[in-house]
Amino acid sequence: MKAPIMITAAMDEVELDQLKKELNDLQKKEGKIATFYEGTLGGYPIVLCHTKVGSLLAASAVTEGILNYYPRAIVTQGIAGAHASYIHVGDLVVSTEVIPIHSYQTPEKKKGEGSDSLSWKIQIFAEGQDEEEKIGIEADEKLLACAKTAQGKMKNQKVFLGRIGSGDVWNREVDRICYIQEHYQTLCEEMEGIAIFQIAQQYQIPVLDIRAISNHEVLKESYQREVGKKAQQFTLEVLKEYLKIE
């Protein structure tokens, strides 16, 4: 049996509804942690993984999926809040890299000196880590190349490639969002990607993050959950390109 490609999403109705319609021979399988949907795309096996929201659940769900299906690649996709000022609701962002925006070191402050989130330093904590060690995890080159090809075919859809911030946080303070964007060049933020990238890295599985922008706190563009369909459709186009070269 061919190793499937696994696609993950935190919210079933918002981020998996279209994908379930596009797959053939769909079968629902309840795991101990996550819900899985097995199907095919052009005859090739695809597994959808409903992780639920947050990095801990995402890590647990993806680990369960890896141990059950041994996927050849993982694409995590869904919606995200924008950081960059030139990106708007309905645009798509594809990861060149994912960084942890909930993992940080604060400066030393004495009692009564208060707290300043604009001085927090983002980092990945690891045993024996050098202070200047790279904080992000890069997306797979082949999957990213397929995304670039798919991008070229979508004339009426804006697609941006760059760094995605990820972690168990929903930033609504404009100064904090601008600080992260300016210092770490993030295009948007979501809650599951960094955990999935870390697990995929441990298992040496190619991984990519695709996000549709659902809201923009800085530009006061309100939340639109229906844009999740755009991320799913683009994910399908990326998969079609990936299956051509693998």
Q: What CATH number is associated with residue 128? A: 3.40.50.1580
Instruction: List Cβ neighbours of 141 (8 Å cut-off, separation of 6 or more).
Output: none
pLDDT of residue 128: 56
What residue numbers bound the domain in which 94 lies?
5-245
Domains in the chain: how many in total?
Answer: 1
pLDDT of residue 129: 57
Instruction: List Cβ neighbours of 27 (8 Å cut-off, separation of 6 or more).
Output: 37, 38, 39
Distance separating alpha carbons of residues 147 and 245, to the nearest angstrom: 13
The candidate with the shortest Cα–Cα distance to 208, out of 47, 102, 124, 96, is: 96
Query: Which stretches of the chain score pLDDT less than 70?
Result: 1, 126-133, 246
What separation in angstroms does the CA of 228 have from each of 42, 89, 161?
A: 23, 11, 18
Distance separating alpha carbons of residues 56 and 10, to the nearest angstrom: 11
What separation in angstroms does the CA of 202 have from each of 141, 165, 171, 208?
A: 17, 20, 28, 15
pLDDT of residue 154: 87
pLDDT of residue 105: 87
Burial profile 157-172: b = 16 or more Cβ within 10 angstroms, e = fewer = bebbbbbbbbbbeebe
Distance separating alpha carbons of residues 140 and 64, to the nearest angstrom: 21
CA angle 154, 210, 235 (to 5 degrees): 55
pLDDT of residue 157: 96
Distance separating alpha carbons of residues 189 and 181, to the nearest angstrom: 10
pLDDT of residue 135: 86
